């Protein structure tokens, strides 16, 4: 484990230094998106890999965070940091509102509720288009920075901090109990743990980082839009990233996000079939290497 952390730290340092070299702004931009998607995927992994709950609507949390921050800026003109805080808070509150009743349920019901939440959010945004901009999106007057490198460091910083916290949570006693709740809920309850409470806390943490990343994403792109933040397709990308990278590892999803965004850019000439290829790869991983890239790597290291 320690060896893996050292390797991870080294990789991070290298990546962190990339924008300072003469590499183009475009590459820096791609790395920035990797960081955002890494945070989305890591947050998702806490729920899926550890708590054993499939969240089909990570884009609900991302969207609430994004639009919360975007509306605060466009309508209220508050400073960027305050807007981001508002967006994050909104995501956590909305997430809890959704999760607390839903996590009491067994089976696929939780997943369904998350999916319905995304659809509802999308409908609401389009119905109240006068405020939210509808399908055209909401332009925000401020951006975090115009320089590609500065934007990258914001996202990179977020990713490192979020990753560290999520990793710490996952490996803490809390994380262990969470895993137990996910893998063997009957046993865990028999041992006296209130598994619902643990899952709710996990969901809140997931909502916090998803919402925060969503809010920051708005000030990176300059717009809040359904297609970039709320659409079911965004959620599917997050799921693909986490599954490809390796569930129940926290770090794996980072690899998955890098692969996802990188492959998307490299496969650009193929047009929309790039999505097909990525989805097919993810399906292949599920069928043949369910532990994902990192899981497979770790297996090989151990053997």
**Which residues are near another protein by CB under 8 A?**
24-26, 29-30, 33, 48, 52, 54, 56, 101-102, 105, 107-109, 111-113, 115-116, 119-120, 122-123, 126-127, 129, 133-137, 139, 146, 148, 182-184, 221-223, 225-228, 231-233, 236, 239-240, 243, 265, 268, 271-273, 275-276, 279-280, 282-283, 286-287, 289-291
Q: What is the nearest approach in angstroms of another protein to the Cβ of residue 65?
A: 15
- In the complex with another protein, the residue whose CB is nearer, 11 or 291, is 291
Q: Residue 113, CB half-sphere, CA atoms under 13 Å: how many? A: 18
Distance of alpha carbon 182 from alpha carbon 161, whole angstroms? 25
CA 253 to chain centre: 9
DSSP SS3 for 197? helix
Decide whether 20 or 279 has the Cβ nearer to another protein.
Answer: 279
Residue 68 Cβ vs another protein, minimum distance, rounded to whole Å: 18
Min. distance of Cβ 301 from another protein in angstroms?
17
* Cβ proximity to another protein, 6 vs 120, nearer residue: 120
The rounded distance, in Å, linking the Cα atoms of 241 and 258 is: 8
Q: How far is the CB of 230 from another protein (least distance, A)?
A: 9
The tally of CA atoms less than 13 A away on the side-chain side of residue 278 is 30
CB 94 within 8 A of CB 64: yes
Nearer to another protein, 17 or 146 (CB): 146
CA distance linking residue 266 with residue 193, whole number of Å: 47
Structure-token pair, residue 282: 């993810």
């Amino acid at each position: 484990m320690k060896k893996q952390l050292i390797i991870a730290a080294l990789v991070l340092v290298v990546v962190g230094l990339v924008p300072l070299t003469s590499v183009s702004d475009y590459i820096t931009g791609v790395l920035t998106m990797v960081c955002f998607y890494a945070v989305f995927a890591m947050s998702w992994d806490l729920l899926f890999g550890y708590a054993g709950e499939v969240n089909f609507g990570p884009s609900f949390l991302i969207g609430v965070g994004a639009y919360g921050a975007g509306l605060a800026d466009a309508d209220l003109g508050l400073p960027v940091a305050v807007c981001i805080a508002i967006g994050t808070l909104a995501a956590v509150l909305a997430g809890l509102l959704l999760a607390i009743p839903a996590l009491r349920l067994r089976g696929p019901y939780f997943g369904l509720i998350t999916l319905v939440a995304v659809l509802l959010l999308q409908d609401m945004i389009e119905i109240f288009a006068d405020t939210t901009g509808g399908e055209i999106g909401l332009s925000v007057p401020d951006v975090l920075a115009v320089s590609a490198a500065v934007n990258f460091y914001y996202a990179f910083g977020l990713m490192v901090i979020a990753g560290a916290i999520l990793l710490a949570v996952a490996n803490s006693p809390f994380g262990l109990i969470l895993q137990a709740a996910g893998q063997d809920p009957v046993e865990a309850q028999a041992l006296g743990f209130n598994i619902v409470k643990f899952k709710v806390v996990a969901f809140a943490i997931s909502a916090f980082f998803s919402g925060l990343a969503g809010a920051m994403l708005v000030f990176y792109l300059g717009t809040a839009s359904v297609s970039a933040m709320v659409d079911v397709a965004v959620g599917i990308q997050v799921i693909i990233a986490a599954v490809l990278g390796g569930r129940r590892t926290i770090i794996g999803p980072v690899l998955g996000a890098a692969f996802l965004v990188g492959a998307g850019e490299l496969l650009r000439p193929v047009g929309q079939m790039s999505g097909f290829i990525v989805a097919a790869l993810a399906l292949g991983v599920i069928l043949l290497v369910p532990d994902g890239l990192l899981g497979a790597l770790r297996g090989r290291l151990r053997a």
